[in-house]
A and B are shown apart, each in its own frame.
Chain A
């Protein structure tokens, strides 16, 4: 009887999971005016001032992602430039918020000088971060997002809205100010998806001849982006351009158009400096990139060391995205490296092996 019940329960779980897995992302919204004000705050860090040598603790929410692997290597690189940093201790929560809480508590118990983190779930780890701050250990968010809370002293921050806006402006220019487009965005409800779409719509207000046919969510997944694009190609006989700020998904989109023989005349928006996309740009001389810099880790480390020196720091340090024109892509693409790789200025010995 139990086996029968278990069987039925598992059947339900299996069937429903297939339908609902993509819905896992939590919804977030961004009030830009408020956020700008919060980011501009200057944090008094005197209470965190302490002499070296320093041990940097890195509480990684996850490591199974090439962007964060490069981000961590930037932390290690910056640490290597400072003689008073004696060690970098890294914990990996593997997408488990409970483990990240435990990891942060462990780092506090080890009395690290500074905690750099990127969250799985920002709210879930706040109490642990607040305890660290209460014990005089400063915390810096290096995940590319912005957190305004008592547990986060400062943020090395990539502005998704600004990134989306810059990409959208180059895209509309390349499109010639008119045409039918669709947007391929990350996981629905995430800050990245919400801000990038908002930025695109803001830009499109100035260009009424550009029609947004549909906003789709490819979950940062090349295969899913390709699958969705294949359907859109059936649905719309005319598509002039695709807004896709994430290079991973841009590759899937481009493949679908190539398969359908509809690449000619298609305008691709800038992606990011994901190596597979950069290689595509070099080959096709389209699209370009607006960077999502992995050096967020390096900037977070610089911020952390300033805090330990008692210097005032901003609550949110914006790491500006840069536009890479198609003609310049060859300077950034590493043709002999895998697709799942990021253009960076890391010294060779610090690049992932």
Chain B
């Protein structure tokens, strides 16, 4: 069922169902505060938001694809390619930043367009198609870079995105929040957004109803590719680029965040707010076990346990309703 089809105010249960991940996030944050004062410090919270920005930004675009009932496994590869490409185009000079960012986002969108065309015109699953394009893009990255992460990041570019507004909130973290808000509004208030939910709920019914299934699917993949490129640019802004596999594994982090955020693999349901909250659950979990100083292997156990418990709690609060 589309979240827009039912009234969000129909019942407290329905509200809890829809925003269960926010409850999980709030509980986890309260636990974190109870265990470490650091989580009360605005600057530290700003750090966590900044850490989450690359994965969170990439996950925003992929959320649209998953609401459609599809998947995009190529975002990690696009992040890697984008980070290297943007650094090369920037060439250490702040004057090149606008062009570098524009071209990088355009190339990411082009990769997304290829994914979209393949999914629209091929009967194979989006899982295998985007897995294939991911491999191809990783290969292109190696060919383009020759195995070393070429390019130089302009210092001004990094200073801008790492600057703290009010000495608290990094611009990069604000970028995540603004992009998430923009896409959430797109989903909630536009015809395009409603079409995504309707197609994800029942693709065949949507097709028979005359909805532009192919065009919407194509557009969602273009958006996913563009946001993956923005994720690559965010990686560059946060910590520069030091390898040609910068984004490797990001697709799994993003998928974990999206699933934790309540988006169903089967489509028709999900929110960008949930995805951002899921991303923050992942990063708070990591930071919590790290700041408490647990042994590395115990950190892995606890981080995994927090994710499993958060996921189970969400299922209990949300999906069973």
A interface, size bucket: 35 or more
State whether A21 touches B252 (Cβ < 8 A).
yes
Once the chains bind, are B290 and A228 in contact (CB under 8 Å)? yes
Residues of A within 8 A of B151 (CB): 338
**Is B256 interfacial (CB-CB < 8 Å)?**
yes
B212 within 8 A of partner (CB): no
Q: Does A69 contact B (CB under 8 A)?
A: yes
Chain B residues with CB under 8 Å of A341's CB are 148
> Does A22 sit at the interface, judged by CB under 8 A?
yes
Contact with B along A163-189 (1 / 0, CB 8 A): 000000000000000000000000010
How many residue-residue contacts, CB under 8 A, span A and B? 149
**Contact status of A223 and B235, CB under 8 A, knowing A11-B259, A276-B242:** yes
Q: Which parts of B88-107 form the interface with A (CB within 8 Å)? A: none
Q: Mark B223-251, 1 if CB is under 8 A from A, else 0.
A: 00000000000010011111111100100
Say yes or no: is B280 at the interface (Cβ < 8 Å to chain A).
no
For window 212-262 of chain A, which residues contact chain B by CB distance below 8 Å? Answer: 214-217, 220-223, 226-228, 230-232, 234-235, 248, 251-252, 255, 259
Interface string of A322-353 (1 = CB under 8 A from B): 00000000000000001111000000000011
> Is B300 on the interface with A (CB-CB < 8 A)?
yes
- Check B266 against A7 for contact (C-beta < 8 Å): yes
Chain B residue at minimum C-beta to C-beta distance from A341: B148
Complex contact B300–A214 (CB within 8 A): no
Chain A residues near B2 (CB-CB < 8 A): none
Given contacts A69-B147, A235-B291, A259-B162, contact A252 B239 (CB under 8 A): yes
Q: Are A234 and B148 in contact (CB under 8 A)?
A: no
- B290–A352 CB distance below 8 A: no
Q: Which residues of B contact A23 (CB under 8 A)?
A: 297, 300
User: Given A3, A14, A68, A217, which contacts B256 in the complex, CB threshold below 8 Å?
Assistant: A14
B202 interface hit (Cβ, 8 Å): no
Contacts of B138 in A (CB 8 A): 64
On whether the beta carbons of A222 and B242 are closer than 8 Å, the reply is yes
Q: Which residues of A contact B54 (CB under 8 A)?
A: 223
| Contact A339–B149 (Cβ < 8 Å) | yes
Q: Report yes or no: B239 in contact with A65, Cβ–Cβ below 8 A.
A: no
**0/1 per residue, A195-226, Cβ < 8 Å to B?**
00000000000000000001111001111001
Closest 8 CB pairs of A and B: A7-B265, A14-B255, A340-B149, A19-B304, A18-B256, A234-B38, A17-B252, A69-B147
A residues engaging B (CB < 8 A)?
A: 3-4, 6-8, 10-11, 13-23, 63-66, 68-69, 188, 214-217, 220-223, 226-228, 230-232, 234-235, 248, 251-252, 255, 259, 276, 338-341, 352-353
